[in-house]
């Protein structure tokens, strides 16, 4: 059988002798038929179940013409903004417009609208009137409840209301879309489809059996404490085995979230990844320079889903869930053998991983029956005593992949959870990781070194990273390799004061780490950290959290992470003076920067007078922020 892309035009439909689609799929990314792209998986799953699916990618949203070019579908329209929330795709953490878009032809930005799901759905309504509309993908999934929107700086209502869609699929969606398609195909009205797990819908009554009523949209909008309450309940109920139906009132209507859909098991995952993907972007993009987003994933293997790491700034718990499931060795080996025959394959598998590369199974056996614990984390603040910590199965997989003829190297780039690895008593995987699976650098994510900040992130204490780092360099020395750790670091996370940022800068200086890239905390929908940012409260404990919000303080915290950069001198100098850390300005080994030339600051004041005129943060203020003493 000759594989081909799904129809994107009337001509494509005619080649297949299709007069009408069953489903039209509107997406905010370019059409890439690869399982790293959500639209590819959903469309191929529907195809496998006998449904005719056509793709309209990156439509011109200024009219309805692109939306109508494949005709009115028989059963409904599927809408997704793409692999990333459209606002995150368009704007940086400082709300500046991005200049590129790796999911668009030629990397060219501006080819989709802001809030793409909403805009696309409204165009679909204009084009086809009262047709079933089902929304999904990350943008819809993370905005399914009343949510804080960083770009509007306010609480917005559920995206299901603003989009005027009928049903919202949250999570990965393969099971949900088939169940919904079958019900529509059987003639059931979309208005009556209410019982599918992993979906949300709107109804006129909030009296749902065995449900929990969340604070309403209006309460969340008007009270930060109630917003935090809502976030906590949502987080606790994201359990496919014990989670309750959640109901949230919006004016005179009610958003209803059914409990999560259980994750795909190994057999189901294998079947999804065995579908006839083209493993490429559509040829129509060739003239524009192709699609950048496929370059790294084309020769990578997605081995698992879900993450029990539980970082507060990560939306995975709210989207993929905390239960890890994985593909079989044979499924991954089959895909790797197909790669070898690709003319562009040079012998290097770029990655074998998932949200966390070295998570290949649930944290403990209990999770397969009861799900993740409601009010406990697997790794924070300490590893749970019930957690199964082993890399034997993952190591066996990597060895099999290395033996495939035509494969020169198998790398791991999607990130190693170091606090899990360092607690494995068997060093065999760690040694082979260093020997075979690193190309000079291993990317890890300590995110910060201040225990105060790490606690708010849901990450382990810095001593755990230090232990890991020492062992990494010790193993590399023993095998005669000079390889390095590349730490991902984040500035301005809720809980981070200027003193924490200075503590991190001193650590970087002492350990000769010079980060080339750092990330300001980005308040994306659906995370615990975003709730902290907006409310100043940790929703899981309701304790107050210091939040750096001013543009100046955020700029100073970011500059401190790259204190060696001459362009950051003024900001670093001001941060140190404000914090009373003149001891870090000078010529000593611990100093971050040198004094201003001619003994004066950039305003013309002498160094001593500058500090007095500017004013230091008071001792009382330091105590409130929790970082009064010097590092």
| C-alpha 124, offset from chain centre | 28
Higher per-residue pLDDT: 611 or 179: 179
What pLDDT does residue 615 have?
Answer: 40
Q: What is the mean pLDDT of the chain?
A: 93
Question: What pLDDT is stored for residue 599 in this prediction?
Answer: 53
Paired strand residues for 56: 26
133 to each of 73, 102, 409, 412, how far by Cα in Å?
11, 27, 45, 39
Residue 506 clears pLDDT 80, i.e. is over it: yes
Which pLDDT band holds residue 499 (cuts at 50, 70, 90)?
A: very high
H helix intervals, 482-545: 498-510, 528-535
Q: How far apart are CA 531 and CA 590, in angstroms?
A: 36
Report the C-alpha dihedral over residues 524, 530, 535, 539, rounded to 10 degrees: 140
Contact 210, 244 (CB under 8 A): yes
Strands (E), 98-189: 133-136, 147-149, 154-156, 167-169
Average pLDDT in the 341-365 region?
Answer: 94
Torsion angle of C-alpha atoms 577, 580, 583, 586, degrees rounded to 10:
10
Would you put residue 372 in left (φ > 0), alpha (ψ -120 to 50) or beta? beta
- The token pair at 230 is 């809502």
In this prediction, residue 317 has a pLDDT band, given cuts at 50, 70 and 90, of confident
Q: Per residue in 14-42, pLDDT tens?
A: 999 999 999 999 999 999 999 999 999 99
pLDDT value at residue 331: 98
Beta bridge partners of 485: 442
pLDDT band at 206 (very low <50, low <70, confident <90, very high): confident
The answer on pLDDT for 457 being more than 70 is yes
Fold of the domain spanning 10-199: Rossmann fold (3.40.50)
pLDDT digits (tens, 9 = 90+) for 476-486: 999 999 999 99
The token duo for 620 is 């009382």
Q: Are 486 and 444 in contact (CB under 8 A)?
A: yes
Alpha-carbon gap, residue 142 to 138, rounded angstroms: 6
- Please calculate the CA angle 219-94-318 and round it to the nearest 5 degrees: 50
| pLDDT tens figures, 127-169 | 999 999 999 999 999 999 999 999 999 999 999 999 999 999 9
> Where is average pLDDT lowest: 190-199, 247-256, 372-381, 614-623?
614-623
Domain boundaries, the chain: 10-199, 442-450+478-631
- Convert 583-612 to b/e letters by CB count within 10 Å (16 or more is b): ebbeeeeebbbeebeeeebeeeeeeeebbe
pLDDT per position as a tens digit, 37-83? 999 999 999 999 999 999 999 999 999 999 999 999 999 999 999 99
Predicted confidence (pLDDT) at residue 621 exceeds the cutoff of 60: no
Share of the chain above pLDDT 70, in %: 94
Burial environment of residue 618 by CB neighbours within 10 A (0 to 12, 13 to 18, 19 or more): exposed
pLDDT tens digits for range 555-599 = 999 999 999 999 999 999 999 999 999 999 999 999 999 999 865
Instruction: Provide the b/e sequence for 560-579 (b: ≥16 CB within 10 Å).
Output: bbbbeeeebbbbbbbbbbbb
What is d(CA 48, CA 610) in angstroms, rounded to the nearest whole number? 70
CA-wise closest residue to 315 among 197, 143, 172, 142 = 142
Residue 311 vs residues 125, 199, 440: alpha-carbon distances, Å = 38, 24, 27
Cα dihedral 114, 494, 612, 502, rounded to 10, equals -110
Write the pLDDT tens digit of every residue in 77-108: 999 999 999 999 999 999 999 999 999 999 99
Q: Which helix (H) or strand (E) holds 24?
A: strand 23-27
């Amino acid at each position: 059988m000759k594989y081909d892309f799904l129809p994107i035009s009337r001509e494509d439909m005619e080649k297949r002798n299709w007069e009408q689609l069953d489903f039209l799929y509107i997406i905010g990314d370019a059409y890439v038929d690869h399982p790293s792209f959500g639209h590819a998986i959903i469309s191929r799953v529907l195809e496998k179940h006998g449904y005719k699916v056509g793709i309209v990618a990156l439509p011109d949203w200024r009219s309805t013409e692109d939306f109508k070019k494949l005709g009115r579908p028989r059963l409904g329209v599927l809408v997704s903004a793409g692999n990333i929330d459209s606002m995150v795709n368009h704007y940086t953490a400082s709300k500046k417009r991005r200049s590129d878009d790796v999911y668009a032809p030629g990397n060219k930005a501006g080819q989709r609208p802001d809030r793409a799901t909403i805009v696309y759905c409204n165009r679909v309504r204009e084009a086809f009137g009262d047709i079933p509309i089902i929304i999904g993908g990350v943008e819809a999934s993370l905005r399914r409840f009343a949510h804080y929107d960083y770009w509007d700086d306010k609480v917005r209502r559920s995206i299901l209301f603003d989009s005027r869609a009928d049903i919202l699929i949250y999570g990965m969606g393969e099971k949900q879309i088939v169940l919904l398609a079958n019900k529509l195909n059987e003639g059931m009205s979309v208005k009556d489809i209410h019982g599918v797990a992993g979906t949300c819908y709107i109804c006129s009554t909030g009296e749902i059996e065995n449900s929990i009523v969340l604070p309403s949209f209006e309460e969340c909008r008007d009270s930060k404490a109630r917003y935090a309450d809502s976030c906590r309940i949502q987080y606790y109920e994201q359990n496919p085995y014990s989670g309750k139906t959640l109901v949230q009132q919006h004016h005179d209507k009610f958003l209803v979230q059914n409990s999560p859909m259980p994750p795909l098991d190994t057999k189901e995952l294998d079947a999804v990844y065995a579908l006839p993907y083209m493993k490429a972007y559509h040829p129509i993009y060739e003239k524009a320079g192709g699609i950048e987003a496929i370059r790294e994933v084309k020769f990578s293997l997605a081995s698992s889903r879900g993450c029990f790491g539980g970082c507060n700034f990560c939306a995975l718990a709210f989207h993929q869930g905390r239960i890890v499931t994985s593909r079989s060795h044979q499924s991954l080996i089959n895909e790797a053998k197909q790669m070898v025959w690709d003319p562009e394959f040079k012998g290097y598998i770029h990655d074998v991983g998932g949200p966390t590369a070295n998570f290949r199974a649930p944290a403990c056996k209990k999770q397969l029956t009861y799900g993740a614990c409601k009010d406990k984390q697997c790794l924070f603040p300490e590893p749970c005593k019930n957690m199964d910590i082993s890399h034997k199965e993952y190591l066996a997989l990597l060895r099999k992949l290395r033996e495939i003829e035509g494969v020169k190297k198998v790398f791991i780039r999607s990130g190693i959870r170091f606090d899990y690895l360092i607690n494995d008593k068997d060093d065999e995987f760690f040694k082979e990781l260093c020997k075979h699976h690193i190309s000079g650098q291993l990317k890890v994510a300590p995110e910060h070194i201040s225990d105060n900040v790490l606690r708010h992130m849901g990450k382990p204490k810095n001593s755990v990273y230090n232990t890991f780092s020492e062992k990494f360099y010790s193993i590399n020395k023993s095998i005669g390799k000079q390889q390095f750790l590349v730490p991902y670091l984040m500035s301005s996370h809720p809980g981070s004061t200027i003193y924490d940022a200075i503590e991190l800068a001193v650590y970087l200086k002492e350990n000769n780490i010079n980060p080339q890239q750092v990330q300001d905390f980005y308040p994306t929908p659906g995370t615990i950290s975003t709730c902290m940012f907006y409310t100043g409260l940790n929703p899981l404990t309701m304790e107050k959290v210091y939040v750096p919000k001013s543009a100046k303080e955020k700029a100073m915290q970011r500059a401190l992470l790259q204190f060696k950069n001459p362009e950051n001198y003024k900001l670093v100098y001001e941060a140190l003076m404000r914090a009373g850390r003149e001891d870090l300005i000078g010529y000593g080994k611990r100093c971050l920067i040198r004094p201003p030339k001619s003994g004066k600051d950039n305003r013309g004041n002498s160094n001593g007078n500058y500090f007095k005129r500017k004013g230091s943060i008071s001792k009382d203020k330091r105590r409130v922020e929790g970082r009064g003493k010097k590092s």
